[in-house]
Amino acid sequence: MAIVSSAEAGLRAAPRATILQLRAPGFHTVDLEREASALVGSSTVPVVISSRCDLVLACGAAGVNLPERDISTRDARTLIGERLVGRSVHSLEGARAAEAEGADYVIFGPVWPSATHQGGDAVGVEALARVARGVRIPVLAIGGVTEDRIEECQLAGAAGYAAIGLFE
């Protein structure tokens, strides 16, 4: 999963990603809607939008990814129906709660230190493995993922990875 802040960045990342997450917290709604519409309309891979169920529906996106402190997975599912609902989590308990509420996947981390996840302690590969073993839904590793660490994520049981810097 490539986490991008614009349609332009998403289209650059799409050839190497299996899914795109549009995350642009500083954008005004009208600007975010413009970027989301452009990305959804042009991308060759599914697009999820961070935190904005309204824009998922308005743009026809594949789904939403919710931070841990956002609305519940159940509420998001009520709003967007059968589209993808993912949840970013930082613990096994958070992953289990997301799964119990009906999340399709979780993004777990930060696994390694990361410039884009400052303030959160890196949890390490063992924690990633515990989460991957502890839930039945796909777990994507995030935080400090590099080309050299992708195989380590897979060996820990992650279904994949989410990254910002890797796709820039």
Q: Mean pLDDT by 10-residue block, N- to C-terminus, for the chain (168 residues)?
A: 97 96 95 98 97 98 96 96 97 97 97 78 96 98 96 98 90
Residue 87 phi, psi (nearest 5) = -135, 130
Measure the CA–CA gap between 106 and 90, rounded to whole angstroms.
10
Query: Do the Cβ atoms of 166 and 114 come closer than 8 Å?
Result: no
Question: What structural domains and CATH numbers belong to the chain?
Answer: 1-65 (no CATH), 67-160 (3.20.20.70)
Reported as a single tens digit per residue, the pLDDT across 132-144 is 999 999 999 999 9
Reported as a single tens digit per residue, the pLDDT across 47-71 is 999 999 999 999 999 999 999 999 9
Residue type, 114: S
Closest by CA position to 67, among listed 88, 84, 86:
88
Mean pLDDT taken over the chain: 95
